[in-house]
Structure formats: structure tokens, C-alpha cells
Amino acid sequence: MTAEPSKIRLDIAAYGIPAGTYSLPGLAHARSIADGTQADELRIADRFARHFTGQLPTSELTPAEFNLIRDDLHEQVAERREQALARFERVVPRRFAHAVPGKRAAAWATEVTTSLHSPRSLLFTGTVGTGKTHTAWSTLRAVAETGANLRFLAITEADLFARLRPGGSVSPEAELESLATVDLLFVDDLGAAKNTEWTEEITYRLINRRYEECQPCIFTTNAPGIDLPAVLGDRIDSRLQQMCDLIPMTGTDLRKEGNQ
């Protein structure tokens, strides 16, 4: 790479790749399409450098230059997709290992991986057994399938409180910091625990941090949207209403029907 990272201008739309940090073609790649002379290698490498700093638009690349750059970037995406799916498969519960993303999940994953702090978070609401957790994990799979290098953490509310309770972790504050700063956070069964002054304060601190930094989240809750203030408190409900798309999940308990 011949340009400083701060000056890189990579047209992700033109190349059809997710946002991220990429290794850019340089002299070694230029050699593969040059006419065999060092002068032509240097000329093409210079064109690459000017392209990646915005001085040479995609429309002015030769077909050979464009195809080389596109193919190299897509190879990196394919490798990252394989790595991201491997990471996903290491942490996904066996019950949800084969959750297939739908169109909404795929669209949201594209938004998140294109501009991490722009999309609204997702809050799946509904009674027990309507597929909220299954849908949430399918959305995380959709994110992994993009190949974007995003760190995600999935945790139930019960485990979250166990991890943050004084005496339950070496450093509850460090645990809270990791939950607050991870790229993408999934909290399952929000509002399921008995609401106390301590649980409300912990939940507020976590959600408020992510709310203020516009960091994407996925939440599930058995509480209908209208009941969230009573279950979680007005401060938390207000932030969830502003930061999330509420997605009602309806139907009978699929677990009792043996479909989940």
C-alpha cells in the first residue's frame, strides 16, 4: 500500500464489498498485468495509489486494473466470511446453529456492516416460544455471512447479571466495559429477571452507553412494547424506543409444538 491509511478512499459500492479494512493491491499485483517492464509495473502501481486516494475514479481504471482490484478484494471477503462463520459457529448454541437468515436479517446485516453506527437496533417482542431467539441468532449469522470483521457478544439477561453482580466476576466494571464497547451486542430475554434497583441501574448503564455511542444491539423480550416501561423502567424504555425498531413476534408456543 503506497498511501497513508488516513487518506484511503475505497469505493465499496463499486466493488460490491462490505465496509472494512483491506489490504490493497500494490507493485506485486501490478506486475501481473504489466507489459513485463519495470516502468509499466511502476506506472500501474502509481495508478493504484492514485485510485485509492480518490485521485483516479473507478470509471478511469482499465478493465484489467478494475478486475484485478475487484477479484483481490472479493478473495479477502471470502476468506473473512469463512473466518466470521467459523467464529459464529463456535459460539452459537446448538439449538440455533442452523438458523437461516431471512430477507430482513440480511438487509439489516448489510446496513450494520456498511455503516456500523447508522442502523437502528432490533428489539424482538412476543410471548414465550414465538421464535425471537431463533430469529436473533439468524440475524447474527447474516452478519457473519457478510464477511465483515465485527466483534459480537451474545448473552442472556440472567447471565449478564450473574457476570456483573459484585462477587460474580473478578472485575464487574471491566465486564460492563466489554459489553458496552463490543461492536454488536445481543441480549436475550431482556426484562425476564426480577426488577430491582440494582438490575435496573445495571441495565440502564449498559443500554445508555450503547445508546449514546450509537452502537447496534439486538434484544429479545417477552414483554409487549406497551409494557416495557413497567418492566424495565421509563429511562430504559425511552432509550429503547428511540434506538430500536420494535418487531412483534406472534403465534403459539413453537416449543410445545416441537418446531423449535
Entry field: residues in the chain: 260
* Per-residue pLDDT, 258: 58
Does residue 231 share a domain with residue 151?
yes
Evaluate whether residue 56 is within a structural domain. Answer: yes
pTM of this prediction? 0.81
Band of pLDDT at residue 168, cut at 50, 70 and 90: low
The whole-chain average pLDDT of the chain stands at: 90
Q: Tell me what the mean pLDDT of segment 117-134 comes to.
A: 93
* Per-residue pLDDT, 166: 80
DSSP string, 11-80: -HHHHT--SS--PPP-HHHHHHHS-SSHHHHHHHHHHHHHHHTTSS-GGGS-HHHHHHHHHHHHHHHHHH
* Per-residue pLDDT, 237: 94
* Per-residue pLDDT, 1: 40
Domain end, chosen from 84, 116, 136, is at: 84
* Per-residue pLDDT, 154: 97
Closest CA relative to residue 187, chosen from 227, 152, 237, 148:
152
* Per-residue pLDDT, 228: 87
**CA 110 → CA 6, 107, 167, distances in Å?**
24, 5, 40
Q: Tell me what the mean pLDDT of segment 138-161 comes to.
A: 93
Reply yes or no on whether the pLDDT at 257 is more than 70: no
Domain end, chosen from 55, 84, 113, is at: 84
Number of domains in the chain: 2
Distance linking the first and last C-alpha atoms of the chain: 49
Band of pLDDT at residue 115, cut at 50, 70 and 90: confident
* Per-residue pLDDT, 26: 87
Evaluate whether residue 165 is within a structural domain. Answer: yes
Band of pLDDT at residue 158, cut at 50, 70 and 90: very high
